[in-house]
Chains A and B, each alone.
Chain A
Amino acid sequence: MTRVLHVRDLRVSFPAPDGHRFHPVDGVSFSLDRGETLALVGESGCGKSLTSLALLRLVPPPGRVDAGSTIRLGDTDVLSLEGEALRRIRGRRIGMIFQDPMTSLNPVFTVGDQIAEGVRAHLPVTKAQARERALALLQEVGIPDPAGRLDAYPHQLSGGMRQRVMIAIALAAEPEILVADEPTTALDVTVQAQILEVLDQLRRARGMAVLLITHDLGIVAGRADRVAVMYAGQIVEEAPTLELFAHPSHPYTQGLFASVPRISGPVERLTPIGGTVPSPTAFPSGCRFRPRCPQAFDKSELPPDLLAVGPDHRMRCWLAEGRGGRD
């Protein structure tokens, strides 16, 4: 396996009114191999979207990526890049799609122009070649009548079609990595199925690595090779998808599973997680899940590291100490 992305100890901070800085992303480490899909899962405010923005150096000021963080894209140290070198990373090596395609598309340019612009920004081609390429991309993302749609404006397309256009733009320069931040959250469930299918086909065809950011465990189950669950700015559990779903181990992950209504099996009363997600300006000390954790104990007052619970399976919980040898 070729490692395409390596993130180590990523910390993103923002200034608080009292002059200190708080850390919505606080020590996140993960890696991505070629052709692999890694899901970053968590609820609002867990830091998953900021993590993805940091990869492209798009953290909005006054936020910043703190010193000591590492983001390596192949041999490139992303955090040391400036200006033109940084621009060549965005789009060219890491493509990105967001939840709401309408706000990322320019309403006054045709779909074809916007894709061709993406192509020409990164590849040495003529206008005509770029338009050819745009047409091929529309075809690849499954847009019916691609030649006719080339001259359409964004408002003339449905939400699902717009998201396909966004994917085409993200793929224009053939990036090694696609970051998909809640790519189907704004879409209906049947359209969601279409888009996820397209993403999967493209990943397989191009050997692209995908970082899938989502709150939906259902999407993860069908599409990701590995899962990292985030809570309060940290990864609290990580494992291959089958392993994580078979043995969810962190009390937060277990809580998420118990909260989700199921489409099959017996209908039982849901077991919600008590309390609310903590604000990034005031993460609890010790284990950050402690105030909501039904299994908290004395040691939870100390911050746990990611500890092994099984093969390729780690969690940020002291309970792992008793289970490290599970096979």
Chain B
Amino acid sequence: MTSVSPPLLEVRDLVKHYAAGGLFAGGPPVRAVEGVSFTVGRGETVALVGESGCGKSSVGRTILRLQEPTSGRAVFDGTDVFALDRAALRRLRRRMQIIFQDPYSSLNPRMTVGAAVAEGIEIHGLAKGAEVARRVAALLAEVGLDPGYARRYPHEFSGGQRQRVGIARALAVEPSFIVCDEPVSALDVSVQAQVLNLLADLQRERGLSYLFIAHDLAVVRQIARRVEVMYLGRIVESGPTEALLASPRHPYTVALLSAVPEPDPTRRRSRIVLRGDLPSPSDPPSGCPFHTRCFHPGRNERCRTELPLLRPVGATLAACHYAESTPAAAPATAASA
């Protein structure tokens, strides 16, 4: 892409380690994020994809400073997010919002939905008096809820409706960027489609940028123009969604893609069943983080010792020493133990 304006968000070498606590205090830290860099353009959706424990949610939370980074930089529209003091951070949060997988746990059960949506408007002094109620009603209507619901409590809503409330709450402060952390994972498919369409509509109407954190590649394909695939705290492949799904170059992306259960019994794709489990992020493998489970026929000693860096291969960036010869799919009978 040849966009002239700088990206809305630029993340550089982000690292987030969690100190081992409790019973294991003094043990090795959990290396949740190990040097992640990417950008999000204006009005664009970038997806962070990976399985549990890959660090994708930590990236989202650290960018908003809901958790403090260990090191690295995040520049949002010219502002160095990690250098801000509390007051400046609060002002910035008007422009950067987050929605969660489970909106129920992020809504106060004793606060009406109207009050929850109004909270941000009042904290940031965006409106006063009757204007607040008018805005809340307009926001509820915008996310497809009856404005009369403002007086109801979260428990009176279904999962899909609660996610709409979560979205209305994020929109209330008129952000330009929203981290969507698995926003449809807990929803039934019919409702998931409603929420995905709503997010797409809001993006078009408001020019929003999304960082869309997800584990489901089919969902990602529906909403994101670019994808960053994470494994054990690192981005292992990055590129335009269609190119990355059409010819993945990192073996992990190949495996992830082949594991997506496709609702079409006539398509017999060779399925790669990865060996073993995800290694512990507090004791990651040396060299390539994926080498313990890799099925690339060309894998060798170099993979065990030397960390591969992201580099252009075909239409994507891939962090694999042998990305040029990554098989499109492994033998269908790869060992399942």
* Cα separation A136 to B289 with both chains bound (whole Å): 32
Chain B residues near A307 (CB, 8 Å)?
none
Q: Is A272 an interface residue (CB 8 A)?
A: yes
Q: Using an 8 Å CB-CB cutoff, how does the interface string of B160-196 with A read, 1 for contact, 0 for none?
A: 1100000000000000000000000000111111101
Could you tell me which residues of chain A, from 231 to 263, have a CB within 8 Å of some CB in chain B? 241-242, 245-246, 255-263
Indicate if A188 sits at the interface (CB-CB under 8 A). yes
Given contacts A43-B189, A194-B274, contact A218 B222 (CB under 8 A): no
A282 at the interface (CB under 8 A from B): no
On chain B, the residues within 8 Å of A264 by CB distance are: 262, 267
Contacts of A305 in B (CB 8 A): none
- 0/1 interface trace, chain A 124-168, chain B, CB 8 Å (1 if under): 000000000000000000111000000000000010110000000
Does A272 lie within 8 Å of B256, measured CB to CB? no
Most buried by A among B192, B276, B337: B337
Q: Interface on B for A, CB 8 Å cutoff?
A: 51-52, 158-161, 188-194, 196-197, 200, 215-219, 221-222, 245, 255-267, 271-274, 276-278, 336-337
List residues of chain A with CB within 8 A of the CB of B200: 269
CA distance in complex: A224, B189 (Å): 19
Residues of A close to B264: CB separation below 8 A: 221, 245
| Central interface residue in A142, A198, A261, by most chain B CB within 10 Å | A261
A263-B218, A267-B221, A272-B197 known; A189 vs B259 contact (CB < 8 Å): yes
Q: Told that A261-B219, A264-B267 touch, could you supply 7 new A-B pairs with CB distance under 8 A?
A: A43-B190, A144-B337, A190-B259, A192-B261, A218-B260, A221-B265, A277-B188
Give the nearest-CB partner of B222 in chain A.
A261
B188–A215 touching, CB < 8 Å: yes
A261-B222, A270-B193 known; A241+B261 contact, CB < 8 A: no
Bound-complex Cα distance A191 to B272 (A): 11
Contacts of A262 in B (CB 8 A): 218, 221, 262-263
- Which of A216, A218, A246 has the most chain B CB atoms inside 10 A of its CB? A218
Q: What are the 6 tightest A-B residue pairs by CB atom distance, in nearest-first order?
A: A218-B261, A272-B193, A188-B51, A259-B193, A270-B193, A217-B263
Give the docked Cα–Cα distance between A221 and B272 (Å): 17
Q: Quick one: which of A144, A217, A218, A261 contacts B276, CB cutoff 8 A?
A: A144
Asked if B260 and A276 make an inter-chain contact with CB atoms under 8 angstroms apart, the answer reads no
A272 contact set on B, CB distance < 8 A = 190-191, 193-194, 197
Smallest CB gap from B265: residue in A:
A221
CA distance A260 to B260 in the complex (A): 13
A263 adjacent to B260 (CB under 8 Å):
yes
Distance between A221 CB and nearest chain B CB, rounded to angstroms: 4
Q: How close is A273's CB to chain B, nearest CB, in angstroms? A: 4
Would you call A44 an interface residue if the criterion is a C-beta within 8 Å of the partner chain's C-beta atoms?
A: yes
Residue among A158, A188, A215 with the highest chain B CB neighbour number at 10 A: A188
CA distance A260 to B191 in the complex (A): 10
Is A259 a contact of B218 with CB atoms below 8 Å? no
Contact A259–B266 (Cβ < 8 Å):
no
| Contact of B337 with A221 in the complex, beta carbons under 8 Å | no
Q: Which residues of A contact B276 (CB under 8 A)?
A: 144
Contact residues in A for B337 (Cβ distance below 8 Å): 142-144
Determine the chain B residues whose CB is within 8 A of the CB of A277 once the complex forms: 158, 188, 190
Residue of chain B at shortest CB distance from A141: B337
In the bound complex, what is the Cα–Cα distance between A271 and B271 (angstroms)? 29
Which chain A residues numbered 191 to 228 have a C-beta less than 8 Å away from chain B?
A: 191-194, 197-198, 215-222
Q: Which residue of A160, A193, A241 contacts B277 across the interface (Cβ within 8 Å)?
A: A160
Q: Which B residues touch A189, using CB under 8 A?
A: 51, 215-216, 256, 259-261
Give Cα A220–Cα B264 distance, bound, in whole angstroms: 9
Chain B neighbourhood of A44, CB < 8 A:
159, 188
- Tell me how far the C-beta of B59 lies from the nearest C-beta in chain A, rounded to whole angstroms: 17
Known: A242-B265, A259-B193. A267 touches B222 (CB 8 A): yes
Known: A242-B265, A262-B221, A272-B191. A142 touches B255 (CB 8 A): no
**Listed A/B pairs (26) with beta-carbon separation below 8 Å:** A160-B277, A188-B51, A188-B215, A190-B274, A193-B271, A197-B271, A198-B336, A218-B260, A218-B262, A221-B261, A222-B261, A246-B266, A259-B189, A259-B192, A261-B193, A261-B222, A262-B218, A262-B221, A263-B257, A270-B193, A270-B196, A272-B194, A273-B193, A276-B158, A276-B160, A277-B158
